[in-house]
């Protein structure tokens, strides 16, 4: 009986670890919310948190705030649990991004999560200062933080640029964010009036990942506006 229980446990563990980061990213590109929900339920640890983080973003874009809130809460709970048991920069970086999403869903939580974002990123910096996702999440934070509280679109551009340089290094494990870095840099350039630079960055995002949904949407949106004008 113990042998059967062990085998069943190992089989379940194998299923739970079957979800890859690339699978999650592919589901996001196609806004496959149902698929993301399945991935979150069939994985654990970092992969589960990442699936829930991406599910929260996708659901929010589609106007389903209740699903977005539930998913981001689940991602936060998983990551905080992981962070209490190990010093892992990838966990800290995704946790900071998750706190940022919490603020995005409810700006009134900025006072609660702003300091947590800074702390998580500083801890991650001590572990892996040249992690491209560290620079990417810093760029996202600089973009979304009001100038009165230290945010800066130019700083977001600078941080995104450093992230893009680091993304050129080989990666074989947790590798998300390359196309996203170009997209955030493009958004920051757009905010500062550099429309041509923004379009170039979104095209670069597509060059990195031809199916990257967000950059494709931004390019199509820009083309539609150009036709109308």
CA end-to-end distance (rounded Å), the chain: 72
For the segment 164-169, the average pLDDT, to the nearest whole number, is 96
- Summarize pLDDT for 27-56 with one digit per residue, the tens: 999 999 999 999 999 999 999 999 999 999
The secondary structure of the chain in percent helix, strand, coil, rounded to multiples of 5, reads 80, 0, 20
Residue 130 makes CB contacts below 8 A (sequence gap 6+) with 166
What is the spatial distance between Cα 150 and Cα 53, in angstroms, rounded to a whole number? 25
Identify the CATH number of the domain defined by range 130-229: 1.25.40.10
19 pLDDT more than 80: yes
Q: Where are the domains of the chain?
A: 17-127, 130-229
Mean predicted confidence (pLDDT) in 129-136: 97
- Cα(175)–Cα(63) distance, integer angstroms: 28
Rg of the chain's alpha carbons, rounded to an integer?
18
**Mean pLDDT for the stretch of residues 142-162:** 95
For position 62, what pLDDT does the model report? 92
Q: Both tokens of residue 27?
A: 């589901």
Taking phi first (over 0 means left), then psi (-120 to 50 degrees means alpha), and beta for anything else, what does residue 87 get?
A: beta
- Tell whether the model's pLDDT for residue 2 goes beyond 70: no
Q: 3-class SS at 42?
A: coil
- Considering the chain, what percentage of its residues have pLDDT values greater than 70? 90
Task: Give the pLDDT mean for 162-179.
Answer: 95
| φ, ψ for residue 211, nearest 5 deg | -95, 5
Q: pTM, whole model, 2 decimals? A: 0.88
> What does the pLDDT look like over 93-115, one tens digit per residue?
999 999 999 999 999 999 999 99
Q: Which of 183, 172, 175, 169 is nearest to 212 (CA)?
A: 183
And the tokens for 225?
């506006």
Share above pLDDT 90 across residues of the chain, in percent, rounded to a whole number: 84
């Amino acid at each position: 009986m113990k042998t059967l229980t062990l085998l069943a446990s190992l089989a379940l563990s194998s299923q739970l670890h079957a979800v890859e980061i690339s699978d999650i990213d592919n589901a996001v590109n196609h806004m496959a919310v149902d698929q993301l929900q399945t991935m979150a339920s069939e994985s654990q640890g970092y992969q589960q948190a990442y699936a829930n983080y991406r599910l929260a973003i996708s659901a929010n874009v589609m106007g389903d705030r209740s699903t977005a809130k539930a998913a981001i809460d689940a991602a936060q709970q998983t990551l905080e649990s992981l962070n209490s048991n190990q010093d892992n920069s990838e966990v800290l970086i995704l946790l900071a991004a998750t706190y940022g999403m919490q603020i995005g869903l409810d700006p009134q939580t900025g006072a609660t999560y702003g300091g947590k974002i800074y702390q998580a990123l500083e801890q991650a910096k001590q572990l892996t200062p040249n992690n491209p996702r560290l620079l990417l999440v810093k760029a996202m934070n600089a973009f979304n933080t009001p100038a009165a509280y230290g945010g800066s679109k130019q700083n977001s551009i600078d941080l995104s640029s450093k992230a893009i340089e680091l993304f050129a290094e080989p990666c074989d494990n947790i590798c998300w964010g390359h196309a996203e870095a170009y997209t955030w840099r493009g958004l920051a350039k757009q905010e500062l009036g550099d429309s041509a630079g923004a379009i170039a960055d979104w095209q670069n995002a597509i060059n990195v990942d031809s199916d990257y949904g967000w950059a494709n949407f931004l390019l199509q949106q820009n083309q539609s506006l150009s036709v109308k004008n």
